Amino acid sequence: MIGSVVHLFNVRICISIMGIVGNVFLIVCIVQTKFTRVKTFELFLLGLAAANLEDILIVNIYDIIIIQSSSVSINILLCRSLKFLTVFGEITSILFTVLISIFRYQKLRDAGKRVNLPIYLDSIRSAWMVSGVCVTLSTLLSVPIFAISLQDPAENSTRNTGCPPDFFQCSKTYCPILNGIFKYLFIILCNLLPLIIVTVTGCLIIAVLLSQRKTVTPVVSVSSSSQLGGKSRGGLRLQRSTIAVLAAMGLFQVDWTLYLIFQLTFSPADLPYWGEMEFFISTSYTSISPYVYGIGNNLFSLKNLMKR
C-alpha cells in the first residue's frame, strides 16, 4: 500500500513538472512577441497556458494542505480560497479550449469564399474582450465555493471540517441543498456543455477538412507559381495548426468524459485514491496540451525562439 502511494506521488510530481515546464515555455514563446504583433490565436493560447499553469500550481498546493490537514488545523478561509483558485483555473482552461475550437472552425468555414477577409475574432480588440468574458464567467462560476458547506463524508454532522479532497462531497446522512445544486450546475455548465461544444466543433472541423481535401485546385499559370507556393505553405501551416487543435480537442474530450463518469458514478468515500484519480484526469490535459499546441503551431522550436 505504501509503495503504491509513493509510486503515485512520484508520477504526480513528474506530470506536474512536465505541465509547469510546458506551459511556462508556451507563455515565454508568445510573450516574446511584441503585443502589437500577437495574433488572436496566440492570445487565446496565452490565456489557456496561464490558466493551465495556475491550475497545476494551485492543485498541488491544495493537495499538500489536505495531506497536512489530518494533523494541522487549517484555516477555513484559506481552504475556500484555494478551492476557489483551483476551480477558477480549471474553468478558465475549459473556456479557452472552447474558444480556441470555435475560432479555428470559424477560420476554416467558407475559407475559399472569404479568401483573406477577416472574421470577427481576428480583431485583437474582440479577442481581448472575449478573453475577458471567459475570465469573468470563470470567476462567477467559482464564487459559490465560498457559500457551500465543506463536509467530511465520514462524519454525520453538518459542520465545516478541514479541506475535503472533493468540494462536492457530503456526509452519507446529510447533504445541503446548495451543495447538490452547485454540483450539478457545475457539471452541466462547466463540463458537459463545453464537452458537447468541443465535440460538435471538432466534427465540423473534420468535415471542413475533408471537403477541402476533395476540392481540386487548378493550376493558373507559371507566372503565379510563386504566389501559389506561398499560399500552399500558408495552407500547410494552417492545416498543421488545425491538426494540433484537433489533437488537443481529442485529449480534452477523453479527459473530461472520464471526469464526468467518475463524478456521476463514484464518490470519494468509495474510492481510496479518489484525489489521485481526479488529479490525473484533470491535470493530464493542462500538462500535455501546451506541447500539442506549441509543436503544432511551430512555437516549440529553438529556431523560432532565437528569432524572437
**Whole-number Å distance between alpha carbons of 90 and 55:** 6
**Whole-number Å distance between alpha carbons of 91 and 264:** 18
Beta strands in the chain (DSSP E): none
pLDDT for 109: 81
pLDDT for 226: 45
Specify the residue for cell string 499546441. Answer: 293
**Whole-number Å distance between alpha carbons of 168 and 188:** 14
138 CA to centre of own chain: 12
**Whole-number Å distance between alpha carbons of 197 and 11:** 31
Instruction: Please say if the pLDDT value at position 261 is more than 80.
Output: yes
**Whole-number Å distance between alpha carbons of 236 and 229:** 10
Average confidence (pLDDT) over 232-243: 66
pLDDT for 22: 93
Instruction: Please say if the pLDDT value at position 31 is more than 70.
Output: yes
If DSSP states are collapsed to H, E and C, what string results for 162-206? CCCCCCCCCCCCCCCHHHHHHHHHHHHHHHHHHHHHHHHHHHHHH
pLDDT for 307: 55
pLDDT for 47: 94
Query: How open is the CA angle 75-80-27, to the nearest 5 degrees?
Result: 115
Cell of 47: 490565456
Average confidence (pLDDT) over 232-255: 79
Closest CA relative to residue 171, chosen from 76, 267, 274, 62: 267
Q: Express each pLDDT in 208-223 by its tens digit.
A: 888 877 664 544 444 4
Tell me which of 8-12, 75-79, 105-109, 163-167 is least confident: 163-167
Q: 1.20.200.10, 1.10.540.10, 1.20.1070.10, 1.10.3720.10: which CATH number matches 2-214+232-307?
A: 1.20.1070.10
Query: How open is the CA angle 182-187-193, to the nearest 5 degrees?
Result: 130
**Whole-number Å distance between alpha carbons of 80 and 304:** 42
More confident residue, 231 or 97: 97
pLDDT for 17: 92
Instruction: Please say if the pLDDT value at position 225 is more than 70.
Output: no
CB 74 within 8 A of CB 164: no
Domain spans, the chain: 2-214+232-307
Q: How confident is the model at residue 100 (pLDDT cuts 50, 70, 90)?
A: very high
**Whole-number Å distance between alpha carbons of 288 and 271:** 26
Cell of 195: 464537452
The percentage of residues in the chain with a pLDDT greater than 90, rounded to a whole number, is: 31
Average confidence (pLDDT) over 112-135: 81
Instruction: Please say if the pLDDT value at position 306 is more than 60.
Output: no
Instruction: Please say if the pLDDT value at position 97 is more than 70.
Output: yes
